[in-house]
Structure 1
Amino acid sequence: MTLAGFEPPPLVWETLGAVRVAAERFPGGVIDLTVGTPVDDPPAFVADILGRSEASRGYPPSIGTPAFREAAASWVERRFGVEVGPEQVAATIGSKELVAGLPQWLRLRTPDRDTVLHPGVAYPTYAMGARLAGCRAVSVPPTATGGLDLDAIDPADAARALCLWANSPSNPTGALDDLDAVAAWGRSHGVPVASDECYAELTWGGPPRTVLGTGTEGVLAVHSLSKRSNLAGLRVGFYAGDRDLVAYLGQLRKHAGFMVPGPVQEVAVAALADDDHAEAQRAIYRRRIDAVVGALDAAGLDVAGPGGAFYLWVTAPSGDGIDLARDLAERAGVLVTPGSAYGPHGVDHVRLALVVPDARITELVERLGAL
């Protein structure tokens, strides 16, 4: 008997099929620029802390240890000039689980609302979180500069909205948004704003910015150590902001058993206190971005340096990102993500994640130069 119900879709990288095969056949092998997973070494102190930690015996606090919450609050103040108390911070098992879970938790709190607003060119988990909660996912079109076109939000959708997601710097485009304006829109419409800021340390267009810049009322900033400190494998991040929202989510998540392992929280405390390794990683990504932007430009492809993050958002000459992905795979052995994976507004682009070692970046530049 076949039952009708939700069928989880494959991740986009599981659907590349023949394009991946073509890239793998290229002499020298594939240069895979699809998944944005860090490849550089984490700080040297990570292994030492994990090796000597005694925090693995007992259950860690779901909301985060006092030391972790204090370290996160101190980092927010140091990085953004915004003061939040430790009681306005709570731990996450990386940031993706919060992105996927937030709609169902907010709907328990506000059952008469059923809509998740998210960027029109976006990381797919914003929409998937809505689907998992049985909610409507409604995309907000991008402005000419890649931010949220707040004026395009239908008042009827705003009245039903559980939350509005922002993402700046953006995955996949690298665009920067006006987070002050986003926060103001949320407050004026009574809609909580969740701002995914996991690439904030990799902001190239001016200083890093946060949705907390005009206050914490009605907003949450979501951060991760995955990109900043190359700790994607340890799964640790945090959210900070509105006192009531942080308290509500923290209490709910205790019941659900969301806990960052104790030794990992100790690593996070040290990582958040150390800016030197983050600055060194910034310099590495900046060098890679500049080299590949130059190579793409020389190859006749339309790309601009991103406002932030380590992605390049490249326009497809034919207007079809899948065509460009196939062409790069066949002619250069370069595997990229078609922009259609990030919504209908992205169909004419591809995304390149510059998360391969420097030796492969050099080879990538050479391959692009031969196009």
Structure 2
Amino acid sequence: MNIAIVGVSGAVGQEFLRILDQRNFPIDNLVLFGSSRSAGSKYTFRNKEYEVKLLQHNDDFKDIDIAFVSAGGGTSLEYAETITKHGAVMIDNSSAFRMDKDVPLVVPECNAKDALTRPKRIIANPNCTTIMMVVALQPIEELSHIKRIKVSSYQSASGAGAAAMAELQQQYSDLVNNKPLTIEKFPHQLAYNVIPQVDVFTENGYTKEEMKMFYETQKIMHSDVKCSATCVRVSSLRSHSESVWIETEKPLTVEEVRAAIEKAPGCTLKDDVFNGVYPMPLETAGEDNVFIGRIRKDISDENGLTLWLSSDQIRKGAALNAVQIAEYLIANNGL
């Protein structure tokens, strides 16, 4: 299997290398691509050193089977034809193609088969907050159709990339040492703060991040479900969390929901509130699954349920989901 990683120097690109190795992904040849800033850099993978090539409009992807792309929407749009023209499958981590009707938007626990139909040879990786939410909601959807979702996200610095994580750490250090703060990756100081804005605002008062959760959830779950989100940046370093309220067509008990989640792929039930057991980002960082707890009836709606979840945004929210898509394609002769 010939594999390419585009954007290897970023936080998600680096996670691709770790996950491909950890999961013993079948690789005969690996080619790394980056911008002019990272071209020439070297990374070690499975005891072999690889030099990052400059991403260009040429035939470098001629023998590539799968290209994992995490270099931003502009790069994905510009280079999609170059990457796919010789037959490579492009699994794209940006938002560029997510709502394209000819591009499947895939979370393997929910709609893996969608990845087999891809007219443009592109598969889109959903937004991180959407991925972890739909993994948790899929087993509930199988019990009773979910009509409505209300969600508040608690998104760590990792969602804004490696430089943003470094900025948060530097802010804490500068505050302790009474130094001027650097504020570049977030709209305001993030250290000791929460910011009720992730991405830019749209005309309806929701941010682009919040609207992604509305549209992407419908596409992934093949559903008319309506999702209203408030996305908030918090000062944890890694792993996102979400507080989720849902309304189902028929009432469900907490016990049957817990049982469904406990058996569901990609889910880990962590729900013993009276002993202080529930998911927290400090513990879910570096883990693969979506951790779910605080499952309870919504006391304002007889058909409602409330839950809390946490998951590693860089792993399941990005790189791991893409690798799982590739694994599904290989296992089902989908290349």
Q: TM-score per shorter chain, which class? A: 0.3 to 0.5
Q: State the TM-score, normalizing by the size of structure 1.
A: 0.30
Return the structure number with greater relative CO, CA threshold 8 A, min gap 6.
1
